[in-house]
């Protein structure tokens, strides 16, 4: 005699719920990793060029520095944080970006900017 399998096994439901929770957590982590400023891009009105650090020139250090700039409603940069790039170049890039002016907006925005250093 062959027994029929019931679709209502509690351990299957627990596994499915656990998998659903894990997938939801991964999706949430993925969404949190996306830039929060995607809809808040603002055009740069005034861009100040960075001063190339003398030590970086001598060492022939080049490359991009990515920064996260917080911009207020008036378009002024209120905070700058280094995301990636050479630390010696990042300090000069931060100083320059703090002087940038952006288009006005409805509130504060977080914008990712890249500053390139080449000799």
pLDDT in tens, 63-102: 999 999 999 999 999 999 999 999 999 999 999 999 999 9
Residue recorded with tokens 């250090």: 61
Residue 118 has a pLDDT of: 92
Instruction: Name the average pLDDT for the chain.
Output: 81
Q: Give the integer Cα–Cα distance in Å for 5 and 27.
A: 33
Count of C-beta atoms within a 10 Å radius of residue 47:
13
Q: Is 60 left (phi over 0), alpha (psi -120 to 50) or beta?
A: left
Query: Is the whole-model pTM more than 0.85?
Result: no
Say what percent of the chain tops pLDDT 70. 68
Superfamily name and number for 44-117: TonB (3.30.2420.10)
C-alpha dist (Å) from residue 37 to 14, 27, 69, 113: 37, 18, 10, 11
């Amino acid at each position: 005699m062959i027994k029929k399998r019931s679709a209502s096994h509690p351990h299957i439901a627990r596994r499915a719920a656990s998998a659903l929770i894990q997938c939801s957590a991964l999706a949430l982590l993925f969404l949190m990793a996306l830039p929060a400023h995607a809809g808040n891009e603002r055009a740069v009105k005034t861009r100040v060029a960075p001063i190339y650090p003398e030590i970086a020139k001598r060492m022939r250090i080049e490359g991009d520095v990515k920064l996260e700039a917080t911009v207020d409603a008036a378009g002024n940069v209120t905070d700058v944080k280094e995301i990636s790039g050479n630390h010696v170049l990042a300090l000069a890039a931060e100083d320059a970006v703090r002087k940038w002016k952006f288009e006005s907006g409805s509130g504060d925005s977080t914008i990712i900017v890249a500053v390139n250093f080449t000799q």
